[in-house]
Structure 1
Amino acid sequence: MKLPRLSVWAGISLLLLVVIALLYPQQIGVAVFKVSLVTTAGVVGYYLDRSLFPYARPDGYLAEHFHNRYKPLANKNDADIRVNEGYHLVFALAMIRRALIVAAAMLAVGLGA
């Protein structure tokens, strides 16, 4: 059985939280508060991108619906998800734009909190 994605990082995070609890128990509330702020900022950044660029969503440049990504590929060297011909750069820029907006929101909240 394969572990879910990012299981190792979730385990490391829990281990570090236990270390904080053992060394500085009074800081547990602060750590949980900061993690919840940064996580909320990520969600707000995502929805900010969706509302600012409603017609430039990255999945709009895909050749087929992304839910079909688990079907067997005809060619094992083929991409999991195809991008429409001629839109590779636009697709990449839309992905980078979204990542930058989410990162900026998380950084802003992280530095301000």
Structure 2
Amino acid sequence: MNLKPLLRFFPTLATLRDKLRATPLLLLGAITFGVVLLMNPAKVGLLIWGASRIGLYAYLGYWVDRIIFPYARPHTLTGIAEGTAWKRRALIVAAALIAGGLLP
């Protein structure tokens, strides 16, 4: 289905579509959470603890990149510089996730 004509007249549809891009991952996570809840309810706290740590360290990695490189944000650059900035941000976020995962 071609949504381009509709998106021209309803800009909020484009915004809503962007917000719901990760819905399949959210549903997969909810289903997995439900399976863990049914099979072993004692592990639910551990699952929530792990998910909150991942979210926290990903957020911190993103902000570390913004603080260290305030004038080299990927969405403001073009060409090779944009691609390099996206890779740099991904590496910093990945490093923060690994560092956070190694903490006790």
TM-score, length of structure 2 as denominator length: 0.76
Q: Which residue of the other structure, out of 80, 89, 92, is the alignment partner of 1:89?
A: 80
Q: Percent sequence identity over matched residues?
A: 33
Number of equivalenced pairs: 88
Give how far 1:108 is off.
Answer: 1.8
Letter of the structure 1 residue corresponding to residue 63 of structure 2: Y
One-letter amino acid of the structure 1 residue matched with residue 42 of structure 2: Q
| Structure number with higher helix proportion | 2
Which segments of 5 or more consecutive residues in structure 1 lack a partner in the other structure? 62-82
Letter in 1 for 2:57: A
Q: 2:94 aligns with which of 99, 103, 112?
A: 103
User: Could you tell me how far 1:25 is from its partner in structure 2?
Assistant: 0.4
- Equivalent position SS for 1:33: helix
Q: State whether structure 2 residue 60 is matched by structure 1 residue 44.
A: yes
Which structure's relative contact order is higher, taking Cα pairs within 8 Å and 6+ residues apart? 1
Cα deviation, residue 110, structure 1: 2.1
Which residue is equivalent to 2:50? 34
Deviation at 1:91, TM superposition (A): 1.0
Q: CA RMSD in A?
A: 1.8
Matches within 5 A, 1:54-73: 54-61=70-77
For residue 96 of structure 1, report the CA deviation from its aligned partner: 0.3
